[in-house]
Amino acid sequence: MSTTSLVTVERDGHLAIVTIQRPDKLNALNPTVLRELTQAFQALIDAPAPSEVRAAVLTGAGRAFVAGADIAEMAAMNSVEARRFAELGHRLCALIEDAPFPVIAAVNGAALGGGCELALACDFIHAAEGAKLGQPEVNLGVIPGFGGTQRLTRRIGPGRARELIYTGDMITAEQAHALGLVNAVHPAADLLSRVRDIALKIASRGPLAVAAAKRVILRGEGTDLVSANELEAQAFATLFGSEDQKAGMKAFLEKGKATFTGK
């Protein structure tokens, strides 16, 4: 396990579990937390073979995932400082979104404001019963600053996203599931083990294929269907030059289990 003052990273083979460790402040995001999370994810991305990460889980210590940005610190910011703070959040969220491995948000409690935005940067979200999600920034006289206006709209559609952002309402994990914001809701005691199982399953699949699928889905969201399908066809063909493709198909034909090397 690697640890900074506010972030821990637990490794289990090709799986990494990243935990925000600021429970006394409900894991509220300030510049230090954002920088330490960025450093943690960059280190996971840069991990060399054979210790490379193939799936990651992001969660929070204590009662919250991330209750939001640290309002006490934000209240004193001027426009220049606020822009720098937003850039830190955008950099972290882009890093998670572009990581060559899936990142699953295990929302164990409140995921509000910057916390909801952090979860949205992950590939998908599982939540505990009793968790709350939302973008309540308008209650503070501001708007989401870490990509919430864009990623929430892409996740649940513009009409529903507008309503949540304009009202600043919080919703339950069950409501978020009904909207498609959350993939599944679990009893709080089971959340991390359920998400860990899914992450380990992903980590056992062909890592080049999973990374390609993530890349094509992400890039395809911002383009037309014809161009997106061309991205898919190119990625599909490229994988036929990999050792993983040969191992996977050979194992299938021989009714065995493939061992993927990421080559």
Task: Give the alpha-carbon dihedral of 39, 45, 47, 50, to 10 degrees.
Answer: 160
What is the pLDDT, as a whole number, of residue 222? 82
Are 232 and 216 in contact, with CB atoms under 8 Å apart?
yes
Q: Range(s) for CATH 3.90.226.10 in the chain?
A: 2-203
SS (H, E, C) 128-148: ECCCEEECCHHHHCCCCCCCH
pLDDT tens digits for range 116-129? 999 999 999 999 99
Report the CATH number of the 207-253 domain: 1.10.12.10
Q: Which residues contact 220 (CB under 8 A, 6 or more apart)?
A: 227, 228, 229, 231, 232
CB 156, CB 179: distance < 8 Å = yes
Q: Could you give the dihedral angle defined by the CA atoms of residues 7, 39, 127 and 63, in that order, rounded to the nearest 10 degrees?
A: 20
Q: Please list the pLDDT of the chain residue by residue as tens digits (263 residues).
A: 666 689 999 999 999 999 999 999 999 999 999 999 999 999 999 988 777 999 999 999 999 999 999 999 999 999 999 999 999 999 999 999 999 999 999 999 999 999 999 999 999 999 999 999 999 999 999 999 999 999 999 999 999 999 999 999 999 999 999 999 999 999 999 999 999 999 999 999 999 999 999 999 999 988 999 999 999 999 999 999 999 899 999 889 988 998 898 89
Q: What is the DSSP string of 39-77?
A: HHHHHHHTPPTTS--SEEEEEESTTEEE--B-HHHHTT-
Active site members:
117, 137
- Give, in words, the CATH class of 2-203: alpha beta
